[in-house]
Amino acid sequence: MSAGNARHARPATHDDIPAIWEIDSSATSKFGSIPTLADLADPAESDQKFQEYLGNGRVYVVEEAGQLMGYVAVCSADDAVFIEEIAVHADHQRKGVGEMLLGAVLRDAERAAKSGGRKVARISLTTYADVPWNGPWYKKHGFSEVEAKTIGPWHAEKSTSEEERSLDRAGYRRICMLLEKTLE
């Protein structure tokens, strides 16, 4: 297998969009297994929002032998890199693709910290505390639950935004999580 065929993460291009939408709808179907969250099995983000992430050069994909397996979209907020979306195609889940995507986000956060003259790279997100592939998965990768306002005003506002409130479901707590890594 040539190096180009080996599994790797790279920035996404506009040509990747159809495959990314397919990943999204396949990945979110996982929520169909939880009756209270089953409506989330329909991907919610708009094409316009996604074009924005892409335009900012902040979408990364994991590819193997020309096939896209997962993607992550991030933005900068309050000195942190915030994960807007992360998804792995159902056919490729639980094989370390998500972990590889988090690696791409960490490199992005390290670059952002360096260019901002900061000594700590920070990655943040909002998620469901107790869905096995949400809070526990991030915790396994070094994230801790924090109060959104301790990260900064953008996160404080995000945690009470209409978008977040639309994800409220009885019995399923939404939380903000943070990973910090001191730069060498």
Which region among 74-82, 125-133, 147-155, 160-168 touches ligand COA (by CB under 6 A)? 125-133
* E strand or H helix that includes residue 102: helix 97-115
- How much is the CA Rg of the chain, to the nearest whole Å? 16
Question: Does 140 participate in binding ligand COA (rule CB under 6 A)?
Answer: yes
C-beta of 58 vs 118, nearer to ligand COA: 58
C-beta of 59 vs 125, nearer to ligand COA: 125
Instruction: Provide CB contacts within 8 A for 129, sequence distance 6+.
Output: 135, 145, 172, 173, 174, 175
Q: How far is the CB of 177 from ligand COA (least distance, A)?
A: 9
Instruction: Give the span between the Cα atoms of 145 and 139, in whole angstroms.
Output: 8
Q: How far is the CB of 130 from ligand COA (least distance, A)?
A: 11
Which stretches of 78-143 are assigned E, i.e. beta strand? 80-88, 120-128
Which region among 42-50, 127-135, 146-154, 161-169 touches ligand COA (by CB under 6 A)? 127-135
Question: Does 55 participate in binding ligand COA (rule CB under 6 A)?
Answer: no
Which region among 1-9, 52-60, 115-123, 130-138 touches ligand COA (by CB under 6 A)? 130-138
Binding mask 8-47 vs ligand COA (x if CB under 6 A, - otherwise)? -------------------xx-x-----------------
Question: Does 124 participate in binding ligand COA (rule CB under 6 A)?
Answer: no
DSSP calls for 10-77:
EE--GGGHHHHHHHHHHHHGGGGGSGGGGGGGS----HHHHHHHHHTT-EEEEEETTEEEEEEEEEEE
Tokens of 59: 């979408």
Question: Does 97 participate in binding ligand COA (rule CB under 6 A)?
Answer: yes
Question: Does 93 participate in binding ligand COA (rule CB under 6 A)?
Answer: yes
DSSP state of 161: S
Per CB under 6 A, residues contacting ligand COA are 27-28, 30, 86-88, 93-99, 125, 127, 132-134, 137, 140
